[in-house]
């Protein structure tokens, strides 16, 4: 099993129930592929550094994930087809950073 830090950026026009549904379906996909979500936190609605698809803001979701290495390619393929996901990144790490992350605090 490999460890990953995983960040998803969702469109700002999603309702809270749609956002929860998207996050839960993503976690279900991870479990389906033999992975496990160790930790997750919502970074909330934040400004983007530059406009993406006419969006100035987006919802950020951060996760620590343990999963087989080949599962990352399958997850990436699914996320690329999801129209509600603006961007995503998975970074393989040796060990997870301490939590909560600094971004979990409210922006000043």
Whether 78 contacts 30, CB under 8 Å: no
pLDDT of residue 19: 93
Residue 103 lies in a domain: no
Q: How far is CA 84 from CA 37, 57, 71, 89, in A?
A: 21, 13, 21, 15
Per-residue pLDDT of the chain (108 residues; tens, 9 = 90+): 889 999 999 999 999 999 999 999 999 999 999 999 999 999 989 999 998 888 899 999 999 999 988 888 899 999 999 999 999 999 999 988 777 777 766 554
Distance CA 81, CA 65 (A): 21
Task: Give the N- to C-terminal CA distance of the chain in Å, as an integer.
Answer: 38
pLDDT of residue 1: 84
Prediction pTM value: 0.86
The CATH number of the domain holding residue 74 is 3.30.70.60
Q: What is the number of structural domains in the chain?
A: 1
Distance CA 17, CA 31 (A): 21
Q: Residue 100 phi/psi, 5° resolution?
A: -75, 155
Residue 82 lies in a domain: yes
* Residue 81 belongs to domain spanning: 2-95
């Amino acid at each position: 099993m490999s460890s990953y830090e995983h960040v998803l950026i969702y469109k700002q026009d999603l309702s809270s129930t749609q956002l929860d549904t998207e996050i839960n379906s993503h976690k279900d996909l991870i479990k389906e592929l033999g992975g496990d979500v160790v930790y997750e936190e919502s970074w909330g609605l934040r400004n983007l550094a530059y406009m993406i698809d006419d969006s100035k803001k987006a919802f950020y979701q951060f996760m620590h994930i343990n999963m087989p290495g080949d599962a990352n390619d399958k997850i990436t393929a699914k996320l690329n087809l999801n129209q509600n996901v603006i961007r995503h990144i998975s970074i393989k790490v040796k060990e997870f950073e301490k939590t909560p992350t600094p971004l979990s605090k409210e922006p000043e």
